[in-house]
Amino acid sequence: MLNPALLSQQAGSAEERRLLRLYRKLDAESRRMLLTFAEFLAQRAGEGDASGTGHGAPIAEPELERRPADESVVAAIKRLRRGYPMLDSGTMLQETSALMAEHVLQGRDAASVIDDLESLFAARYAALKEASR
């Protein structure tokens, strides 16, 4: 867990102090998500190791929530985004939108669309982990 006292000793720039103020205003879940995202950005920038290859810090494990029995497709997308905060939802927009359209416009069963969404997120996570090696 991030130690705010330690951060305050090291936070010298205005941006660092602003980040610390924002961090302190967040609840525990939001703090966890912020740290996961910061780790992702650091890894993507190649900060994870001394070799400069971009490999190093492991990708965080997803924190998956149990799937409700009568879940809607929109709720499933939100649940999966919470569970996989390390994935860029922008790059997945086309695929998730296509699945949503199959449900709304073509009448495809929500449960099967959600199955495909879960597979999509799991596959993207596996690809991200593989790319980080």
Does the model's pTM come out above 0.85? no
Q: Mind listing the pLDDT tens digit of every residue in the chain (133 residues)?
A: 454 544 444 446 888 888 888 888 888 877 777 777 776 666 666 544 433 334 555 788 999 999 999 999 999 999 999 999 999 888 888 999 999 999 999 999 999 999 999 999 999 999 998 888 7
pLDDT of residue 10: 46
pLDDT of residue 27: 85
Give the residue carrying structure tokens 């199959």: 102
pLDDT of residue 29: 79
pLDDT of residue 19: 83
Contact 15, 23 (CB under 8 A): no
CA separation for the pair 123, 108 (Å, rounded): 22
